[in-house]
Chains A and B, each alone.
Chain A
Amino acid sequence: MDTFLGIDYNIWWFLVFGGVISGYAILDGFDLGAGALHLFLKKEQSRRIALNAIGPVWDGNEVWLVIGGGALFAGFPVAYAAIFSAFYVPFMIFLVGIIWRAVAIEFRSKEPMGWWRKTWDIVYSFASIVIALSLGLMLGNVAYGIPLNAEKEFDGNWLSFFNPFSILVAITTLALFMMHGAIYLTMKTENRLFAKLHILANNFIIFFVLSFVITTLYTLLYIPHLSDFFRENPLGFIIPLLMVLTIANIPRQIKKGKYRYAFISSSVTIALLLIMVALEVFPFLLYSTSDPQNSITIANAASSPKTMKILLIIALIGTPLVAIYTSFVFYTFKGKVKLDEMSY
């Protein structure tokens, strides 16, 4: 097996893919969350400020989804093929959500009429909610596993995606994004809107903690194969422990008025959550519930070593570049939102 710094290429690419997905969840997470809570803001001006808070960056955030798709396609084509053909129906719903959300943001500001803007506000908010829920639903099913046949193709009924565990994960994802989005917006707003978001952020923290606890208990009680890892590797408990600490840190920072630290804390929470899922499923990319022999693993789904090498080079050159100009864009738009003639 080819290795780089003593770690084989498949694991490297699993880490890169995990990193991209975490990046996506952290970045698009806050703008999806802002979208999901959009209708909680009642005034036209508040909604405009909330939109402009994500305006210059949401497009760049969504790029991480595209990179993630490309990374999975390139590194683990077998998994890419199986996952997207298996999750056909929820994924199509997700994609339609992506389309409507993008155009709702773009179209809303183009006409001044009240009904026009309210319509697009609703489309934008619902699409954000649908995206968050379907992402969570798919994550839940990936973690739980789906039936696969010997050709590693989905061999089940799409209605089975709507199982209690995955629905819980979906709700937790939505709650997490709403919390994350509310915290982001507190950094970008002032005065009364800021005060309102401060309250909303606290409410969404409670919503998230509740759904997270219920999902965790459900997993421990009913889904043994997901907790195996922690039973066999007690050291791994560091991750959930860290998670509890970062989650507890969020309301603490908000109380102190340090919203930026609260935002960093909720970003770390998202990353830890995904690391936990990754540890639970590793080395599987898609566990087969019908016959574990048919599971898709990072070994049997991987591209050739040559491609893995090329991909690592691409990632090593590309990631710093993306990091530099993403930081530059965020830096350009730092601080509270001010509306001007080019705003939404």
Chain B
Amino acid sequence: MDVEILARVQFAFTIAFHYIYPPLSIGLGLLLVIYEGMYLKTGDKKYEQIARFWIKIFALIFGLGVATGIIMEFEFGTNWATYSKYVGDIFGSALAAEGIFAFALESGFLGILIFGWNRVGPKVHFFSCIMVFLGSMFSAVWIVVANSWQQTPAGYHIVGEGLNARAEITDFWAMVFNPSSVERLIHVWIGCFLAGAFLVLSVNAWYILKKRHLDIAKRSFRIALVVATVSGLLQLLAGHKSADGVARNQPAKLAALEGHFDSSARADMYLIGKVNNKTQEVSGISIPGGLSFLLHGNFTEPVKGLNAFPEDERPKQVNAIFQFYHIMVACGMIMIGMTLLACFYWWRKNLFDKRWLLRAFVWAVLLPQIANQAGWFAAEMGRQPWVVYGLLKTSDALSKSVTANQVLFSLILFLGVYFILFLLFLYLLNRKIQHGPVDYGTKEHIDEGSKRDNPIMDHES
């Protein structure tokens, strides 16, 4: 296999694996702030119990996010040296800003969040919780800014020619607020909130079904349900804004998302379907003129199709892009439906009797994960063959000194390591959930403490 394919597979794999964790950290971070805030406001120990339980899970998720994230920062240099030279001026400043403004904040206060219960008062602990959450939100800002610049470059000029060409900043704020930054950031943030909220919903739905920790399970379920419902509805708006932006800034990508080949007068919108890349035909269920309507407000306005672009400037795997995009939208719709239904039953006061719905929520933890991954793949594959849209082709971005064997070696290394990590992660997450929240200050806690954590009881070796 050639270096380009291997390097792309490696990047896709390492980022997809990484992208399981930060959205969970951000979403859980928001819920932690709410739970700790409730504790501080009401003084009710139950909220402390909820917060402590989720902080332990947060630590596990955060650890994996950091470990897999450090790889990403250096992969630009190892596998994509030409790209790094090309965009260093711009991409580098965003990464440096992320490190110093966001990641440092998050990791600094994380120590207090996890280990600080007996070292600082509840107010300082709550403050640390907010700082960790803000740090993770700022991280998303800089990463999405850097990625959005690749999608819709702005605030730069090109100096040098051929191999020595590179982008240089002319306007920092124009680079940061490039045409797609804000709408993509909001879309990503809300996706993170959904990931966190659905994890909490899933675990608590399971507790309620199993009749464990009922009081606190119901409380945390309700709060997470509010977060999930609001986020889901906001995502409808944010997602639409995002698609609108793609139509404006990356018409070839939008055409690929909808499998739209010819710039016909009436662009259909598919709910479900299959694209034949060769015959350029789409089969499935569609709303005639739906895409035209969504983008232009009337059913007959033409939308630019893929064939309007030169052959080497449009993405090739149209079916894959189409499917990823539609999977993301479908997951979003199911989440919205589920949360609205749950709210309806909550209002009717029989939410926790609907066992089928609770069972569905146990599995629904996968929906935001699938949506986030699919959305990411649609966004990144839709950008092809450009690594920086309209400026630099992916095939020109590689490290020239790195051989296929080296990339293959590291790819296999990461596949192996991540596979083991993922199994261990699931195992430990499951154990934490089985173990459940500990009631601090009661007999159960003291017994549990002496079994698990008391150093005196630890055997000596």
Contact = CB atoms under 8 A, between A and B. Distances in A.
Given A95-B74, A310-B93, A340 B118 contact: yes
B147 to A, nearest CB: 15
Contact of B70 (A66, A75, A321, A328): A66
A111 B427 CA distance: 11
A233 interface: no
Contact of B92 (A73, A84, A85, A333): A73
Nearest to B76: A73
Nearest to A59: B107
B370 to A, nearest CB: 24
Interface residues of A, number: 79
Most A CB contacts (10 A, CB to CB) among B84, B91, B170, B438 go to B84
B410 A62 contact: no
Given A44-B460, A66-B70, A314-B100, A332 B84 contact: no
B287 to A, nearest CB: 45
A100 B424 CA distance: 12
B74 A341 contact: no
A316 B427 CA distance: 44
B83 to A, nearest CB: 8
Q: For chain B, what secondary structure do more than half of its interface residues adopt (helix, strand, loop), or is it mixed?
A: helix
A62 B70 contact: yes
B87 to A, nearest CB: 8
A85 B70 contact: no
A311 interface: yes
A56 B114 contact: yes
Given A95-B74, A318-B100, A85 B107 contact: no
A304 B90 CA distance: 10
Interface string B172-192: 100000000000000000000
B459 interface: yes
A178 B434 CA distance: 39
Contact of B103 (A63, A95, A319): A63
B89 A66 contact: no
Interface of B: 52, 59-60, 63-64, 66-71, 73-74, 76-79, 81-82, 84-85, 87-93, 95-101, 103-105, 107-112, 114-120, 131, 159, 163, 166, 168-170, 172, 399-402, 406, 409-410, 413, 417, 421, 424, 428, 431-432, 438, 440, 445, 449, 451-453, 455, 458-461
Given A82-B81, A306-B168, A341-B445, 8 more contacts: A44-B455, A63-B99, A67-B96, A69-B70, A74-B95, A102-B66, A114-B459, A342-B114
10 residue pairs, one from A and one from B, having the closest CB atoms: A77-B88, A84-B77, A74-B92, A56-B111, A70-B96, A318-B100, A81-B81, A73-B92, A106-B63, A85-B399
